[in-house]
Amino acid sequence: MPGFNATRPHFELRRVPAKHQEAEGQAGEVEVYELSDLPAIAPALHLKRRDLLTLAGLSSTALFAAACSRQPDARSDPTPTPTITPRPTFTATPPPQHVLTVQASRPAAECLGLNAAGSKIVAAAFSPDGFLFATVEEKDWVRVWNVSTGGLLRKYRQNNDRGTAVAFSPDRSRLASIADDGKTVFIYNLNDTGTNERETIVTNARGSLVFSPDNSLLAFSAAGKMEVWTAASPPKKTYELGAECFAISPDGRHLALAGSTNQVSLHTLSNGNLERPLAQLKSGVKSFFFNADGSYLAVHCQDKSIQIMRVEDGAVLQSIQLTDGDLSVLAFSPDGRTVLTKRLAYFALWSAQSGIMVSMITPYGFIGTAVPSPDLTVMAEIYEKSINLWNFQGTPKKLGVCFFDKDTMPVGSKALTYQETDAAGITRTYALPCGAPIPSGAACTCNCVPGTGLDLPPPCSCVSDTSGGGGFCSCNKICTCIPVRKYCFVMFKPEDRH
Amino acid sequence: MNPPPIQTDVFIIPILETFLVYAPLRRVAFFTNPAGVNLLERLRHGPIEPETTEQDEFLRFCAEIKLTGSEGDFPITTFDVAEYLPNEVTLFLTTRCNLRCVYCYADGGETPERTMTLETAKRGIDFVCQSARARGLERFGVGYHGGGEPTQNWRVLTESFAYAKELAKANGMEVYGSMATNGVLTPAKRAWIIENFAGVNLSVDGCPTVQDAQRPTPGGKGSSRAVLETMRAFDAAGFPYGVRLTVTAQSVDRLPESVAYLLEHGHPKRMQVEPVYTLGRGKAGGLAVDSQGFVEAYLEAKQIAAPTGVDFYYSAARLDVLTNRFCQSCGEGFSLTPSGLVSSCYEVPDDTVEYAERFLLGNFDEQAGQYRIDGEKLARLRDYRVEQIAWCQDCFCKWHCGGDCMYKSQHSLQEGVFAGDPRCEVTRALTLDLILERIRQSGGKVWAGNLEQASPADEPQYSLEN
């Protein structure tokens, strides 16, 4: 490698150099910082070139504006250029007001190991206002959560059926889920707190599931087609069309549809009648997104491109060429100026105007599937049985909202677990299930998180047990046992349980 | 007189206006201010009475995380046994190679052709089998490695491993086979490897553009298609393999893309990323990658790799390892060159490479019917411990990298003494990243790994599941 900097960036323990003391004030009191106290540090330490781009792109529209200004100006460029058909002007939708604010004072690490679900979460969705979150699991359960607190609001059993999709009605009164590997669509009444009654549609549903904006219709894709049903009781099929890929316009009047012939067409949502063909694309369509006022469509195509299409005349205003990889397109941004995509460990915002990537968002440690809130301010991370929320305003940060159902943590299993395996392969677990006795000989502290059933506002109180064991953590709370002396985890015999 | 509360190595890493306190042997790290560092420094010399509430809290904090106190250092791994009893042999089967990688440390394919005989291979296998038995082990290992491509001496490779399996069976032992290969293999060779080995390491540099430019065939054609076929065959068979990417100045900007490409087209268990070694053909001008550029690209690629769960690493940044040696080259390695010389290092595949004499320990004495090992050389190699390297004494990485690669360090000696090299910069940056990652994973304030570990003797007798 080329020459290197022989200066050492560190020193063995000794008094700090005078220059640092001057900067901090020699008489300063001792402090221990959290990483979150040092927001300026993280990007610098990560040494990510693209952080600069991320920060610039997220914090202002400077890059967007710069991209626009780079468009060639024919009058100032005397060089003859090939004839290029001018693209129609793209007008962004004014950004709506943010409706969702999630604040969590609890460190995100406290949520580590908490199970929201009893089996792997296979689909999830925010409610249109962003305040509720629904999950459907591989086995049995659909759960509805309070986004602000992580508290469980409702849960419905699906007859041991495997769920595949879930969606809220815009008025939050109903929740629909696809279960039984697509054979059944269930519609739950969220206002009904006790009976678990539901409407059932027996069909071949799969993939997309969405209510109409006026709450009256439910559309879902089925094998080789899409179906539209009334969401009333009992549900009735209104019509079906021969294409699986669809999107409903925000005003609820139109249905955009893409079939196997790569033809994109516009239909009337209420009856399915064809209004007009929009465009003939070169490749198949994977997904659709309307912008906030329904004037544009972001069409994610099989050829790894996103076509920004004007609904008025089907004109393709911009083609965004994505890079290789298993990339998913998540949403149009609320202001309609950017399209959010995800690939492996990072997200990207692409300018709908210029087609270039205006920012890359790399939430460190985001490993699961992403479900964006409607206003894109919060990103839910679904990983196996757990849910994490990330603040996507500015630098991405994991929020300490703990989604937790005590029923997923039966006594006898590890609850709030935090494991570390050392070089020798030794793994230790620091957790106790809710309701378990604190082992004799262990000095523990209780660390409470919101429980389930009751949506208690955090923080809940819990009396720490420092007497050397024998205490209990009561229901609706979970006890984290922190070993403070050797043999803390020499566990009790089964018969010692009370 | 009371002992000082701090009795372990503590390093201070200034970061912007704060200081990262890192005690590697206690697995403790947190950020503090100058007042905190100065208080710790006083604790190095003896107990102190807290003068303020904040100081009192800080002292209790240090005690809780076991930064202070006489107990709590994790053990540093060193030699398994005092004697030279290797239980693995690495056979450098040939100098022949079917690729002409632009940076090959061994000048593969361009040195006079030498190939190992089956007899030489069998002797090495006999030796490690006996050594393993002497140590009371139930298994021994046979590995195949460069200078050239091991599969180019196919007959000796297959027959020697068949011999090893027979030998193991006759002695009631197990043998495990491994290999580093360039992955340009015929279907029959792939099938044999899958059938016989416990795993292999594939040297592959990433996306086709990079792979074909850096690892061409002797005729200048690309090798990416062939390597991809090998990865697919391994994946289809569920065969475990790791990949190793070498990064040059030309490929560093494409490292994230290369990592994404390999993870999209294969399912390796491990992914090792290294800056090009300036050895052999790698000495050519323009290949060396600057440390900062490598670190930036590595961290970006690491994020891409993270969701896949692949073990993504650079060899000298290893936070979970506490050791005083980088590898077994320092007096434990047993490798055989094609002509049968005993080498302690993978990077000394024959007697023509630079500094070979320092790592070639001996040979097989035909008359005595046993290996003759140069005790003085062995002692010198074994003495290359991080405790003996002055340059490393104040480095916060020293117990992790163990002084880094001994062979490479030979190229950075100044008047016979190691005085650091660009790898140190890389190691520090990536080790620091791992420390910060642990702090983040532990809630963002402190990493107290000593509270998360226990010795085997502390294993609970009963678990909650009982």
Q: Residue B387's pLDDT is what?
A: 78
Residues 16 to 35 of B: which have CB under 8 A from any A CB? Answer: 16-19, 30-35
Facing residue for B452 by CB, picked from A9, A10, A428: A428
Q: Do A23 and B11 touch (CB under 8 A)?
A: no
Q: Residue A21's pLDDT is what?
A: 53
In the predicted model, what is the mean pLDDT of residues A322-349? 74
User: B9, B33, B55: best mutation site toward chain A, by most A Cβ within 10 Å?
Assistant: B33
Q: Residue A196's pLDDT is what?
A: 66
CA distances from A45 to A48, B228, B315 (A): 8, 35, 20
Q: Do B55 and A414 touch (CB under 8 A)?
A: no
Q: Do A486 and B41 touch (CB under 8 A)?
A: no
Q: Residue A39's pLDDT is what?
A: 46
pTM, entire model: 0.55
Q: Where are the beta strands (DSSP E) in B383-452?
A: 413-414, 417-418, 446-448
Nearest CA to A126 among A148, A104, A158, A111?
A: A148
Query: Rounded to whole angstroms, how far apart are CA atoms B3 and B26?
Result: 18
pLDDT tens across B192-245, in order?
A: 999 999 889 999 999 999 999 999 999 889 999 999 999 999 999 999 999 999
State yes or no: pLDDT of A69 exceeds 50. Answer: no
Question: Which residues on neighbouring strands pair with residue A246, listed in sequence order?
Answer: A257
User: B248, B303, B304: best mutation site toward chain A, by most A Cβ within 10 Å?
Assistant: B303
This complex has an ipTM of 0.74
Nearest CA to B226 among B193, B267, B181?
A: B181
One-letter identity of residue A91? T
Could you give the angle at the alpha carbon of B206 between the alpha carbons of B200 and B210, nearest 5°? 130
Is there a contact between A106 and A416 (Cβ–Cβ < 8 Å)? no
Is there a contact between B96 and B113 (Cβ–Cβ < 8 Å)? yes
Q: CB-based contact (8 Å) between B209 and chain A? A: no
Facing residue for A487 by CB, picked from B290, B433, B458: B458
Q: Residue A212's pLDDT is what?
A: 93
State yes or no: pLDDT of B149 exceeds 70. Answer: yes
Determine which helix (DSSP H) or strand (DSSP E) holds B311, and give its type and residue range: strand B311-313
**Highest mean pLDDT pick, A67-76, B277-286, B328-337:** B328-337
Question: Residue A483's closest chain B neighbor by CA?
Answer: B451
CB-CB neighbors (< 8 A) of B445 in chain A: 32-35, 107
Query: Rounded to whole angstroms, how far apart are CA atoms A342 and A325?
Result: 10
Distant-in-sequence contacts of A356-359, Cβ < 8 A, 24+ apart:
A356/A67, A358/A57, A358/A63, A358/A64, A358/A67, A359/A53, A359/A54, A359/A56, A359/A57, A359/A58, A359/A63
Q: Do B425 and A11 touch (CB under 8 A)?
A: no
Is there a contact between B189 and B154 (Cβ–Cβ < 8 Å)? yes
Query: Rounded to whole angstroms, how far apart are CA atoms A244 and A294?
Result: 20
State yes or no: pLDDT of A107 exceeds 80. Answer: no
Q: Which two tokens stand for residue A398?
A: 């994991």
State yes or no: pLDDT of A433 exceeds 70. Answer: no
Q: Do A414 and B13 touch (CB under 8 A)?
A: no
Query: Rounded to whole angstroms, how far apart are CA atoms A299 and A285?
Result: 7
Which are the contacts of A120, defined by CB distance < 8 A and separation ≥ 6? Answer: A137, A138, A384, A385
Is there a contact between A332 and A292 (Cβ–Cβ < 8 Å)? yes
Q: Do A49 and B300 touch (CB under 8 A)?
A: yes
Out of A186-195, B41-50, B146-155, B175-184, which region has the weakest mean confidence (pLDDT)?
A: A186-195
Q: What mean pLDDT value characterizes chain A?
A: 66
CA distances from A251 to A15, A167, A255 (A): 67, 18, 10
In the predicted model, what is the mean pLDDT of residues A333-359? 76
In the predicted model, what is the mean pLDDT of residues A150-166? 79
In the predicted model, what is the mean pLDDT of residues B135-146? 89
Query: Rounded to whole angstroms, how far apart are CA atoms A463 and B129?
Result: 60
Facing residue for A109 by CB, picked from B77, B432, B444: B444
Q: Residue A451's pLDDT is what?
A: 30
Q: What mean pLDDT value characterizes chain B?
A: 87
Q: Residue A10's pLDDT is what?
A: 54
More confident residue, A107 or A317: A317
pLDDT tens across A387-404, in order?
A: 888 887 766 778 877 787
Residue position matching structure tokens 């000298």: B316
Name the H helices within B290-374. 291-305, 356-359
Residues 33 to 92 of A: which have CB under 8 A from any B CB? Answer: 33-38, 40-42, 44-50
Out of A142-156, A194-208, A249-263, B423-437, which region has the weakest mean confidence (pLDDT)?
A: A194-208
State yes or no: pLDDT of A9 exceeds 80. Answer: no
Q: Do A344 and B464 touch (CB under 8 A)?
A: no
State yes or no: pLDDT of B377 exceeds 80. Answer: yes
Q: Residue A109's pLDDT is what?
A: 58
pLDDT tens across B430-449, in order?
A: 998 899 889 888 888 899 88
In the predicted model, what is the mean pLDDT of residues A230-237? 88
* Residue B82 buriedness (CB in 10 A; 0-12 / 13-18 / 19+): exposed
Q: Do A412 and B464 touch (CB under 8 A)?
A: yes
Residues 86 to 125 of A: which have CB under 8 A from any B CB? Answer: 107-110
Query: Rounded to whole angstroms, how far apart are CA atoms A172 and A179?
Result: 20
Residue A325 banded pLDDT, cuts 50, 70, 90: low
What percent of chain B has pLDDT above 70?
94
Q: What's the gap in Å between the CA of B366 and the closest CA on chain A?
A: 40
Q: What's the gap in Å between the CA of A447 and the closest CA on chain B?
A: 14
Q: What's the gap in Å between the CA of B376 and the closest CA on chain A?
A: 32
Is there a contact between A489 and A441 (Cβ–Cβ < 8 Å)? no
More confident residue, B362 or B440: B362
HSE-CB for B288 with a 13 A CA cutoff: 16
Q: Do A428 and B453 touch (CB under 8 A)?
A: yes
Q: CB-based contact (8 Å) between B443 and chain A? A: yes
Residues 113 to 132 of B: which have CB under 8 A from any A CB? Answer: none
Which are the contacts of A90, defined by CB distance < 8 A and separation ≥ 6? Answer: A296, A308, A317, A318, A352, A353
